[in-house]
Amino acid sequence: MLGAISPLDGRYAQAVKELSPIFSEAGLMRYRVMVEIEYLIALGQEAGVPEVAPFSVTQIKKLRQLYLNFNQTHAKKVKQIEKRTNHDVKAIEYYLKENLNRAEFKSGATFVHFGLTSEDVNNLAYSKMLQDGVVEYLKSVKKVNSHIKSLANSFKNISLLSLTHGQPASPTTVGKELAVFVLRLNDAVANIESIKLSGKFAGATGNWNAHMAAYPKVDWLKFSQKFVESLGLKFNPLTTQIEPHDNAARMYQAISLANTILRDLDQDIWFYISRGIFKLKKKTSEVGSSTMPHKVNPIDFENSEGNAALANSILLGMAVKLPVSRLQRDLSDSTTLRNQGIGVGYSLLACKNTLKGLHKLDIDRRACKEELENHYEVLGEVVQTVMKKYGHIDAYEQIKKKTRGRQLTKALYLALVKSLDIPKAEKQRLLKLTPANYIGLAAKLVDKL
């Protein structure tokens, strides 16, 4: 680990360990083996290909063990073959033939990779890889959102001074501001889950040329659709050599939006901490600064922000690159696709750091109250609104003169209200108003939405 170039394989390896079996090279090999084995089983069930006898239930179980039990030892054997072939997919084919070249599978062994181009195997393997990786990523996103929801409910009645353009503005509640992110992340998750990754299985240039030449009576379009859909993917019937990656690009973009929302949360929490609204729980053994002993830094949110940004640079780069290919195919997509695990990995790491930071938060109710008490000028909004209600055409301009750029104390606010030419009942209502109770529907919105 100390010799790793990528932080995901070094410093942060434990944090994203659930992705290693999915996005590692050994993981890619396992997905390729799965595609080849399931294709062989499907050929055995195709009556139009009599040379491949149907496999028994016992045989199918044994065949599937080749990918279900695929491990580092098997991966090393594939790499040894690849040294000879200088071709990673062909190495998988030879590896499987060596394993299947026994009496019970000998007839089927010759049909491994039958009629296929490498991309038939790769596109399905990469789609399954991304599909499984997204499942792990979403587990973390949902944990983050569940915790934000819990905090939103707990803090829904704690009034908070808003800042628009960094300046004091109409008050809100801590819970309502957090609830905004709950709704946004819910939508982001729904968007990710709605995307169906695609797969093609149509030969060298997408026309089933070799398949048709060998077995012209087989409905290869129907066969391929059934096979691709059996893997949980959307069948794409019209392609070049490669599946054009449009849905993969949509997935990368959808994940990047979730990351962007997470960055927005990280930054808001960071500012709330700097204002003293939130405080971070201390751990005695930890150090906040190498020279300033008092420091307790929001490092988890900063780490998340950086990792989310890095994830998006990769994911959006892939989303722009992968749908573009010269004519029927060039190889630039292959080297690009190998990095989708890095994009998902940094996304997962960002989520986990945000969650870690959220667990360290403590609300400082006194700081919230004091900040509000220092800014009675934010009630200028309601004062001028009530004045308009009673016919003061220049209400805004009057209050602007007395409040713009000024910090009003409670005493100054009360004096302002008492000087107003409005009904006594309305004046009494304004006199009872404070920044802390001027929160509109903020608390109710958390319950309602």
Active site (catalytic) residues: 165, 289
**Cα 328 to Cα 417: distance, rounded to the nearest angstrom:** 75
**Cα 52 to Cα 43: distance, rounded to the nearest angstrom:** 7
**Cα 153 to Cα 157: distance, rounded to the nearest angstrom:** 8
Q: Are 72 and 26 in contact (CB under 8 A)?
A: yes
- Which two structure tokens, joined as six digits, stand for 49? 């290909």
Among 443, 364, 374, 441, smallest CA distance to 413 is for 374
- Which two structure tokens, joined as six digits, stand for 319? 């989303």
**Cα 449 to Cα 443: distance, rounded to the nearest angstrom:** 10
- Which two structure tokens, joined as six digits, stand for 354? 């945000």
Classify strands 278-280 and 361-363 as parallel, antiparallel or unpaired.
antiparallel
**Cα 158 to Cα 89: distance, rounded to the nearest angstrom:** 59
Q: Are 382 and 430 in contact (CB under 8 A)?
A: yes
User: Which of the 8 DSSP states describes residue 195?
Assistant: P
- Cβ partners under 8 Å of residue 225, min gap 6: 235, 237
- Which two structure tokens, joined as six digits, stand for 205? 């240039």
Length in residues, the chain = 449
